[in-house]
Amino acid sequence: MTGRRYPRGGRSPWKRRRSPAGRLLEGLILAAAVLTVAVILRPEGDTARAEPEPSPAEARADTLEGVARVIDGDTLDVAGVRVRLHGVDAFERGQICDRAGGSWACGAAATAALKARAEGRRLSCQVFDTDRYGRKVSRCESGGTDVAGALVDEGLALAYRRYSADYVEAEDAARSRGAGAWAGSFDRPEQWRRRGRRD
């Protein structure tokens, strides 16, 4: 039995003509399938946006901002980061200085002075370096006042000349006024630390 032949260019009765609405529906289904595959294969989804915002202390590598907690006369935490004040060496916590009225706790006075200016306050610190103990060596301001400069001005910290000349003038002015420890005699903090290690 021979198959039925259709005239050239004629349509098979099995092949239906698609309506424009049918073609549109097929296109939408195909687009939805492609979009689904793209979403499934996309790496990590939106997890990058879900990460927490950086803390103020991490916002810029050369700047720390945050509430301070004082450790001693030249060391504090700012937003949980340990900071060593740049360019100054404050009298150590247990250090004693001498003056006309007798010995006095110049180290405790230095810590108290830094607490009065920084404890619980928001500081802005410019980071210069990281020391061998992992502390960020920084110049810190509270309300526009350089807290290290204020300590030198009060005679409760010295210019750390081995590392910086930034506070030499402030130290000279404090000495000429007889401010703080300059009213008597004392060991420089680094001398006091060396002697403590020897003892």
Q: Domains in the chain: how many in total? A: 1
Q: What is the pLDDT of residue 196?
A: 75
Decide if 87 is inside a domain. Answer: yes
* Other Cβ atoms within 10 Å of 171 Cβ, number: 20
- Supply the CATH number for residue 143's domain: 2.40.50.90
Q: What is the CA radius of gyration of the chain?
A: 36
Regions in the chain scoring below 50 on pLDDT: 1, 6, 12-14, 43-60, 199
Give φ, ψ of 86 to 5 degrees.
-70, 135
Q: What is the pLDDT of residues 117-145, one digit of tens each?
A: 999 999 999 999 999 999 999 999 999 99
What is the rounded CA–CA span in Å between residue 72 and residue 62?
A: 23
Residue range of the domain that includes 121: 56-198
Decide if 35 is inside a domain. Answer: no
Q: What is the pLDDT of residue 16?
A: 54
Q: What is the pLDDT of residue 51?
A: 35
